[in-house]
Amino acid sequence: MGKATAQGGPRVVKVLGVGNDYLDIENISPASPTKKAAHQFGANLAHMHDAGADFFGSAPDGYDGTCYFGPLQDPVPMATGEWTSVVDYFADARLRPMVQLGIQRGALDTTDMDRTEDVIAALPELLGSAGDDTPARVHGDLWSGNLMWTDDQGATQAVLIDPAAHGGHREEDLAMLDLFGVSYQSEILDGYESVHPLVPGFAQRFTLWQLYPIAGHCVFFGGGYVSQYRAMCASLLR
């Protein structure tokens, strides 16, 4: 992600030092977002995605350790690999492993895997021509809490924090921004499409991409996220 900044990608928080029990990052002074900054962030995000990755599931360049997804107190491994098909990547690297973990922890059950398999079978139809997209360089956990805004010489600027970076589908990040709401979402999308127009119907596919983080929330928190996951599957299969 940091390499993509030189290609027009968004600013990424600087890592100043790493140890076995600490991560030292730059201090970001928060500011309020503006429409102009949101539009610019959308354009920057498209440039970052366009920097690409070798495969769906690629780990960051030069990294061969475990990738993780989830909260600091309970991160779970996030599969990496070399998938050339977005359908296989989303099924084998994201949905099946997370739902299986939910079953192991008792939050989900085997009927949830059956629902998930039904969605997986429908993926080619649900994705349509968006399934032909090439791997993008994605943040991987881009909910609004991982998008900070700061003042940069009198202008508001976006800064990305806490990534689960990998090669994925560009709509993953956009769906994550939509999941819990983000300020000036329409301006972000307008800025994005000024650089890289999206396949028509992208907003209707957000629910599909949100299955993985919501399944993760079933694993981490249980509760109402379980019924939400089931309702999302049902809505996709209507």
Residue 146: Cβ within 10 Å count: 18
Residue 1 three-state SS: coil
- The larger pLDDT score, comparing residue 23 to residue 146, is at 146
**Consecutive H or E run containing 90:** none
**Which one from 141, 151, 173, 190 is the annotated catalytic residue?**
141
With residues binned 3-state (H G I as helix, E B as strand, rest as coil), the percentages for the chain, rounded to 5, are: 50, 15, 35
Residue type, 76: V
- Given a cut of 90, whether residue 138 has pLDDT beyond it is yes
- For 48-66, write each residue's pLDDT tens digit: 999 999 999 999 999 989 9
Whether 114 is catalytic is no
Which strands make up the sheet holding 11-12, listed edge to edge?
11-12, 155-160, 147-152
Q: Which of 49, 40, 47, 50 is nearest to 188 (CA)?
A: 40
Q: How far apart are CA 238 and CA 231, in angstroms?
A: 11
- For 7-20, write each residue's pLDDT tens digit: 999 999 999 999 98
- For 158-212, write each residue's pLDDT tens digit: 999 999 999 999 999 999 999 999 999 999 999 999 999 999 999 999 999 999 9
Q: How far apart are CA 164 and CA 68, in angstroms?
A: 6
- Kindly state the average pLDDT of the residues 84-95: 98
Q: Selecting from 3.90.1200.10, 3.30.420.40, 3.30.365.10, 3.40.30.10, what CATH number does the domain 2-236 have?
A: 3.90.1200.10
- Which token pair is 207? 């629910």
What pairs with residue 158 in β-bridges? 149
Provide the strand spans (E) within the chain.
Answer: 11-12, 15-19, 22-25, 67-69, 76-78, 136-138, 147-152, 155-160, 166-168
For 30, which DSSP code? B
